[in-house]
Amino acid sequence: MPFDPPPETPIGYYRDVARIFAFHCNGCHGEAGGLNLRGYSQAMAGGNKGKVIVAGDAENSLLIHFIEGRRGEAHRMPAGGAPLNKAQIAAIRLWIDQGAKEDGKSAQHLYRLDGLRVVPGKTTRISCRVPVQAYLVVTASDPATNRTLWTEEASIKSPKEQNDAAEPGTTIHWDIRPGPGWPAVIAIVVTLDYALAPPSDIGLTAELLDR
Ligand code: HEC
């Protein structure tokens, strides 16, 4: 069973902290406004209440107050989900105390389907099966211009919570329909991030449905 291993020191932003944010926070704290935890500079910029991370001072960082439930149980983050475990909270605390630096690198892995023919008015089903815990971004683009036509993000986690797409090893799919201005042939790219052991294959397929 995939799980979050206890943190090693020093804490890496990408390896440890961003990974926790991706699996437990990104579903609500994204581009929609307010606190965005999807990127380093966004997380450091803070949200509606101003800065939530004070580099070098976890004790005075609002983010810590929220994940420890010190603003009241109703505001414990992740809202409505299982609380972070002790090791996860300790890792974030330590990372902030160590200066909240953006170290390491995001280890993204790409899987693609090229030359996919789509038909106006018909549904194309994109499927894949990710065997490990990972954060996934799937994008349909116009190969001629690289323009993004459609995109979705999903987290694959065990145990699966409210905002997660699936547990590792189960098949997930998206049904897409060509919108106005779509070319007849598109490319599908799936990016896996925060996977500790990225699989060589995720069985990415597309099927034209008869509807
Ligand atoms: C299910 C949605 C959801 C998830 C998941 C979630 N949050 Fe929140 N978060 C909210 C909402 C809604 C608020 C504002 C209301 C409140 O304070 O309770 C909020 C507020 C906050 C704030 C207050 C600061 C501000 O400027 O708004 C912080 C810090 C925060 N969340 C951190 C986190 C962290 C860290 C995680 C992951 C461990 C997380 N949240 C997961 C919904 C969520």
pLDDT tens for each residue of 24-78: 998 899 888 899 999 999 999 999 989 999 999 999 999 999 999 999 999 999 9
CA distance 55 to 76: 21
**77, 27 contact by CB (below 8 A):** no
CA angle 2, 102, 196 (to 5 degrees): 15
CA distance 99 to 146: 38
**7, 97 contact by CB (below 8 A):** no
CA distance 174 to 138: 9
Mean pLDDT of 116-122: 96
Dist. CA 99 → ligand 1 center (Å): 22
CA distance 103 to 171: 33
Instruction: Indicate if the pLDDT at residue 126 is higher than 90.
Output: yes
Q: How confident is the model at residue 103 (pLDDT cuts 50, 70, 90)?
A: confident
Mean pLDDT of 135-148: 96
pLDDT-above-90 percentage for the chain: 80
Cβ(47) – ligand 1 distance below 6 Å: yes
Cβ(78) – ligand 1 distance below 6 Å: yes
CA distance 20 to 26: 9
pLDDT digits (tens, 9 = 90+) for 172-186: 999 999 999 999 999
Dist. CA 131 → ligand 1 center (Å): 29
Dist. CA 203 → ligand 1 center (Å): 34
CA dihedral in degrees (171, 112, 207, 172; nearest 10)?
A: 20
Task: Identify the CA nearest to 192 among candidates 142, 158, 156.
Answer: 156
Dist. CA 75 → ligand 1 center (Å): 7
Q: Which residue has the tokens 């509807």?
A: 211
Task: Identify the CA nearest to 131 among candidates 165, 171, 160.
Answer: 171
pLDDT at 7: 53
